[in-house]
Amino acid sequence: MNEAAGVPVHILQTTPLLPIADALLKDRFTVHRLWEQEDAARYLEEIGPGIRGIATTHQFGAVNRILDQLPNARIISSFGVGYEHIDAEDAARRGIVVTNTPDVLDDDVADLALALTLATLRQIPQADRHVRSGRWLSGPYPLTPTLRGRTVGILGMGRIGKAIARRFEGFGVDIAYHARHRQDGLGYAYHDSAVALAAASDLLVVIVPGGAATRHLVDMQVLNALGPQGVLINVARGSVMDEAALVEALEEGRILAAGLDVYQDEPNVPARLLAMDQLVLLPHVGSATVHTRNAMARLVADNLLSWFGGKGPLTPVPESRAVLEGMTHSNLIK
C-alpha cells in the first residue's frame, strides 16, 4: 500500500535510484518521478503542495531551488555521504531534515584510495599499456616510484579518513593528518593546516567534504609544500582541488604524480590532464561497487521509511539537529 501511518504519503524522486530503492519507495509511498516529466516546473506547481518527502542525488544539483514549491516537505533523503548540493542550513530554517548515506560506503572508498595510490606510484595503468602496445618486446618497463619510505598525509580524518589510515598502517608507513580539530586517541602526527601536512608528507590523500568551506583547499601553496617527489591522491570532491594549480604543478614538475577520482566539472576532464602520463585518472568510482551502491540506495529509502514510520531519521546531517530538537514521536512525521 502507498501509505505510512494510515495516511497516503507523496514522495518526490528527483533522479533515478537503484532498483532496490525504487521497489522500497514504490511499496510504501506514492512516488512522483520528476526526471520523467517534460515540463518539470509545471509539474511541481501541480503536485508540490502534496509532497512530504524528497529522494535525491547530487546529479540533480541544488535541491533548495525547488523547496518554495514544496511547502509541506519535511525530509530530504540524499544518496551519498557528501551533501554539498543541499543547503542544509536553509533546509533547517524551513523545518526540513536532511539525511545522507554515511558509513555504508567507507570501506569501498578506502579500498579505492589505497588501490589508486598503488596504481599511481607503481604506474600500473601505464605498465599495462606497455604490455598491450608491444613495447615490452623492445625492453622492460622503467623503474617506478614506491610507497616505501614515504610519509602518508591524510587531509581529512572522518570515517573514511580513518578507514584509509588503517589500511596504510599495514604497509608500515608513517601516517600524519590534518582535520578541523586534533582527535584524541589517534596515534598519528597532527598538523594544524593543509600546508603543514603537505610539507610533512610525501603522499597526500585528500578525503575532506566538498562545499564552500573546502573549495580549493588544495592550492598551489599546498602543492609546493608537497614538493617535487610528492604524490597527490584525491578521492574527495573535485571542488577541493584548485585544478588549474594542479595542472601547472604537474607540468612544471612541482609534484611528481597524481591519482584522481574526482574533478571540478565532471565528467569533463581538462585536456591538459588527459595529456599527462604521470596521472592515473578514474571516473569517480570511489563507492561504485554493486554491494555499496545498493546499501546506499537502501539507506535513502530507509531514512524515508523510518521518518514516516514515526521513528525519526536514521542518518541526519549535523545541520538538522536544530530541527530534531524538541520533536516528539507524535509530531515527527507532521
Q: Reply yes or no on whether 237 is catalytic.
A: yes
Is 222:195 a contact under the CB 8 Å cutoff? yes
Class of domain 3-104+290-331: alpha beta
Determine the pLDDT at residue 1: 34
Specify burial of residue 260 (Cβ count, 10 A radius: 0-12, 13-18, 19+).
Answer: buried
Domain-wise residue ranges, the chain:
3-104+290-331, 106-281
Q: Reply yes or no on whether 36 is catalytic.
A: no
Is 167:111 a contact under the CB 8 Å cutoff? yes
Is 81:59 a contact under the CB 8 Å cutoff? no
The answer, yes or no, to whether residue 333 has pLDDT greater than 60, is no
Catalytic residue among 10, 32, 178, 237: 237
Check for a shared fold between 3-104+290-331 and 106-281. yes
Q: What's the pTM value of the predicted model, to 2 decimals?
A: 0.91
Taking only the tens place, the pLDDT of each residue in 121-133 is 999 999 999 999 9
Residue 81: which of 234, 212, 237, 214 has the closest Cα? 237
DSSP strand pairing (7-8 vs 151-155): unpaired
Taking only the tens place, the pLDDT of each residue in 281-300 is 999 999 999 999 999 999 99
Overall size of the chain counted in residues: 334
Q: Reply yes or no on whether 130 is catalytic.
A: no
Catalytic residue among 216, 248, 266, 272: 266
Average pLDDT over residues 264-286: 97
Taking only the tens place, the pLDDT of each residue in 231-263 is 999 999 999 999 999 999 999 999 999 999 999
Burial 270-292 (b: 16+ CB within 10 A, else e): eeebeeeebbbbbeeebbebeeb
Distance of alpha carbon 125 from alpha carbon 128, whole angstroms:
5
> Which CATH fold would you assign to the domain 106-281?
Rossmann fold (3.40.50)
Distance of alpha carbon 165 from alpha carbon 176, whole angstroms:
9
Average pLDDT over residues 55-74: 96
Where are the extended beta strands (E) located within the chain?
3-4, 7-8, 10-13, 30-33, 51-57, 75-79, 97-99, 151-155, 174-178, 189-190, 203-206, 231-234, 257-260, 279-281
Distance of alpha carbon 236 from alpha carbon 169, whole angstroms:
20
Using 50, 70 and 90 to split pLDDT, how confident is the model at 328?
low
Is 236:194 a contact under the CB 8 Å cutoff? no
Q: What is the DSSP code string of 159-207?
A: HHHHHHHHHHHTTT-EEEEE-SS--TT--SEE-SSHHHHHHT-SEEEE-
Residue 19: all three cell numbers together = 532498483
Average pLDDT over residues 171-200: 97
User: 31-37, long-range: CB within 8 Å, 24+ apart, which pairs?
Assistant: 31/55
Catalytic residue among 122, 216, 272, 284: 284
The answer, yes or no, to whether residue 4 has pLDDT greater than 70, is no
